[in-house]
Every structure is written in C-alpha cells, then in structure tokens.
Amino acid sequence: MPDINLKPIPNLPKYDLPKLVIAGAGFAGLKLARELRNQPFQVILLDKNNFHQFQPLFYQVATAGLEPSAISFPLRKIFHDSKNVTFRMAEVTRLDAEKKRIFTDMGYIDYNYLVLAMGADTNYFGSETIEHFASPMKTVSEALFIRNKIISNYERAVNIERMEDRKSLMNVVIVGGGPTGVELAGAMAELRNNVFPKDYPELSFKNMKVVLIEAGPALLGTMSKESQEHALTYLKSLGVEVMVDTKVKDYNGKVVSLEGGAVLETDTLLWAAGIKPNKIAGFTEEMYAPNGRIFVDEFSEVPGMKDVFVLGDSSLMKEDRFPKGHPQVAQTALQQAENLAGNLIRVQKGKPKKPFRYKDLGSMATVGRKLAVVDLPFLKFQGFFAWLTWLLVHLMAILGVKNKLIIFLDWSWNYLRFDPSLRLLIKPRLMKVIEQNEPKHEKSID
C-alpha cells in the first residue's frame, strides 16, 4: 500500500497568494487564523480534531457542570465567510524545512510560511505506571472519561456491602496544585458535600476523601501569596485535604505511593501536575530547551529555519522579564498569535516587524461557588466578587452566542439549585471493554 505521506493532501484550493499553514487550532492557532481572515494569504488550518476546545473549563465537564458541546466549537463554522481560510482534519507528523514541506497523516503540504501551535500534552515525568493508570484532562474526551469514571465508581460502590471495600472507589486524589488542580478539587468537594449524598443516600460521604497533592511549597505557585493563602483556606473549608511539598512516587490503579512511604487508596487519580510540548520530527536537539519547548526569537521564528514559527506552549522565547520563557497560559498564546499576524501582514507590505512583548493581564482561579482568587497587575482580590469576575471573563472568552447562552444558563441553574443535571453515565464502547477487562482488585502493566 503506498505511503499517504508521500502524496499531497488532495482537494486544497489554489490561490495566487502566499501559503500559510497553521498546525494546531488551540488558542494560538485559531487566533492567528482569525486575525488573517480576508488578508492576502492562503491560510490552511490543520488540527487532529474538527473543533476548538476551551481548555480552562475542562474541569467543569469532568465534574458534570457543563456539557462537552458547550465548550467546543466547530472549526469549519468559524470560517464559513472566510474564503482564504481552509480547514483540514489532519495530524502533523514531521517537517522538512529545506523543502518547505509539512507532512501529516493525510499527506503533505508545501508552504511559504509555517506556524506550529500544537500545544502541550500531559507530563507524567517518566512514570509508565502513572501514565497507564492515572486520568489526565487535556481534551474534552478525557474530561468526559473522568466524569464517566467517577459516576461509574459510585454506581459500583452502592452495590458493595462493606464500607472498607468502598473506600478506594469513593476517594478522589488530584495531583497538581495549579489552577486546574485547585479548580478540580473544589468542584469535586462541592459534589461530595452537596450533590452525591442526595444521589446516593446509601453511601456515607463522610468517608469520601478529596485529596489535592502539590510537589511545591504552595498552591497556585505563579500567583500572589494572598491568593495562595486564600485558595488554601477555601479548599480546607470545603473539606479538601491539601498536601504540599509532597511528591507522588507511584500509582498501581488502587494505591497512590508518596515519597516518604505514605499511601492513599483510590481508584481515581486525576493528574494535573504538568505539561510537555507536543513534538514532531524535523528539529535538531539543539533547537529544544531542556523542558521540550522550541527556542524562538523575538518574532516567534525558529533560528535556522526561515519562515517557520512556533507559538504558545511549544515555544520558548526569552525576554528580559522572562529569562526562562513566558508562562504557558492562554494569554501568552493569544498575544503571540496577534503579534505574528501583524508581522506577517507588515512583511507583505514591506514594513519592518515588531518584536513580541508579553503583557501580563493577570491570572485567576475559582475554588468553588462564590469562592475565587484574582490577581490583576493593579489589584488583587478574592471571594464573591472575584468569583463573578472569573465567571464573566470565561463566559466572554467562549466562542459562539449559543455556547455562551448554554453556559450562562447552566451556571445560573447550578448557582440557584446547586444540583448540576448532567450526571449521566454515557459509556462509549471502549469504556465498556475497559470495565469488563478490569481486574477486581489490582492491575498490572504487561
């Protein structure tokens, strides 16, 4: 059978314009494509999914607060009125910078400009057992898998007679004390405190532990000390057990082993401890930083690779204020994409490019209903007003009027009734197979 990588992707429109290929439709890739709508470029947007995912709200899908479709938006719909933008669902595999050719699982594309905005995946720090048994949350499907797993555990726990045998099914352990881990822990604690006891009156949720583990000395390490302290106070008020300066050594599907010898019983280990950039073939080792990010100059271009740019989590651009690179957050990706779009247009007009300068717009995290922390460059605040600010900022960032309306209605209902209505156990065929083959007590890796 012929190798599909050796053939060009078929049926791409042909324009007498510079061809710009964007790999990845996350925050950076989508922002760049939208900025270049109706500009003198033929833009080809590639992604392995045909929809954009709003990652900051994955945890709400995982905890039954939102539908998966509410935080996803079809990419083709975004560009209905953009004749110069074409989308193809394809996964990029390697790059030939000399030929100016990018290879995918659907074929190759020759480009004039290439932008890699492929984001990052979960970092398990080399542990194969943790990677095998833990549940990550980097995609909508992974968030939905977590929701199904948690609900399935309680449905199974109801049918177990001895309380001791139910503990591992009911306990939830979350690793990673960044915004994702903190928000996930708070949401799980609120389900434990207010929702699950009504759904499962046969179970005693006083015995259910929600544990948040952070290897560093404090939660929300990049935020202010005030926010760190308030987040810790809020989590403890919800009944979350917080463990800082604690490293996870191993996990076998039933028991979490911590450095120092302590153990935690759980069937549900949610991993939010780190990220690593997605990679493709075609780069030399010296182009990578030790953490896997690709070095770029102040214009987001890869040194030694003309017209190849990298944005977002995959890039490492040194700046006086950020000698180790910019924070791997959505704002960085969006600002880099906006700057690159302006530079590409300037180049076409024969004007000089502008170097990228990151503007810190602040950071925030919600811990629970009416509980959040916000750090702005000029102001820091916590509590109810911070929670309202968090809601407004995230609602405005969601694509599509329909999605905004659905999320607003879901949030309003959850606030008034404290009873999310999405606790449906939807089992894809793969999950059924996994459950049927799952050992009763202990798993092992072949």
pLDDT tens digits, 285-294:
999 999 999 9
Distant-in-sequence, close-in-space partners of 267: CB < 8 Å, separation ≥ 6:
153, 168, 169, 171, 253, 254
Burial of 405-425, coded b for 16+ CB within 10 Å and e otherwise, reads ebbeebbeebeeeeebebbee
Contact 246, 219 (CB under 8 A): no
Residue 436: its pLDDT value, please? 52
Residue 161: its pLDDT value, please? 86
Residue 367: its pLDDT value, please? 95
Contact 364, 393 (CB under 8 A): yes
Long-range Cβ contact pairs of 148-152 (< 8 A, separation 24 or more): 148/425, 148/426, 148/427, 148/431, 149/268, 150/62, 150/63, 150/188, 150/268, 151/64, 151/423, 151/424, 151/425, 152/425, 152/427, 152/435
Tokens of 26: 């996350």
Distant-in-sequence, close-in-space partners of 166: CB < 8 Å, separation ≥ 6:
157, 160, 203, 207
Q: What are the start-end ranges of the H helices in 305-440?
A: 330-348, 384-397, 401-417, 429-437
Residue 400: its pLDDT value, please? 86
β-bridge pairing 294-295 and 315-316: parallel
β-bridge pairing 371-376 and 379-382: antiparallel
| Digit-coded pLDDT (tens) for 226-236 | 999 999 999 99
For the cut 80, the answer to whether the pLDDT of residue 216 exceeds it is yes
β-bridge pairing 268-271 and 172-175: parallel
Residue 409: its pLDDT value, please? 82
As a whole number of angstroms, the distance between CA 178 and CA 124 comes to 15
Phi-psi category of 11—alpha, beta or left, where left has phi over 0 and alpha has psi -120 to 50?
left
Is residue 167 very low, low, confident or very high in pLDDT (cuts 50, 70, 90)?
A: confident
Rounded to an integer, the average pLDDT of 268-282 is 94
> DSSP class of residue 194?
I
Residue 246: its pLDDT value, please? 96
For the cut 50, the answer to whether the pLDDT of residue 443 exceeds it is no
| Digit-coded pLDDT (tens) for 120-159 | 999 999 999 999 999 999 999 999 999 999 999 999 999 9
Residue 422: its pLDDT value, please? 53
Q: Which amino acid is at 149?
A: K
Residue 162: its pLDDT value, please? 85
Summary mean pLDDT of the chain: 90
Residue 253: its pLDDT value, please? 93
Residue 351: its pLDDT value, please? 95
**Angle of CA points 55, 61, 63, to nearest 5°:** 125
Domains and CATH numbers, the chain: 4-48+90-121+276-348 (3.50.50.60), 128-273+369-437 (3.50.50.100)
For the cut 90, the answer to whether the pLDDT of residue 379 exceeds it is yes
For the cut 70, the answer to whether the pLDDT of residue 431 exceeds it is no
Tokens of 132: 């095998």
Is residue 347 very low, low, confident or very high in pLDDT (cuts 50, 70, 90)?
A: very high
Q: Cα 387 vs. chain centroid, distance in angstroms?
A: 21
Residue 423: its pLDDT value, please? 61
Helix (H, G, I), strand (E, B) or coil at 149: helix
Residue 429: its pLDDT value, please? 57
Residue 6: its pLDDT value, please? 76
What's the residue count for the chain?
446
Residue 55: its pLDDT value, please? 94
Helix (H, G, I), strand (E, B) or coil at 306: coil
Is residue 427 very low, low, confident or very high in pLDDT (cuts 50, 70, 90)?
A: low
For the cut 50, the answer to whether the pLDDT of residue 442 exceeds it is no
Is residue 33 very low, low, confident or very high in pLDDT (cuts 50, 70, 90)?
A: very high
Higher-pLDDT residue of 420 and 262 is: 262
Residue 143: its pLDDT value, please? 93
For the cut 60, the answer to whether the pLDDT of residue 267 exceeds it is yes
Least confident of 139-153, 177-191, 197-211, 409-423: 409-423
Contact 371, 215 (CB under 8 A): no
Nearest-10 crossing angle of helices 179-190, 225-237: 20
Residue 399: its pLDDT value, please? 87
As a whole number of angstroms, the distance between CA 85 and CA 337 comes to 16
Contact 249, 273 (CB under 8 A): no
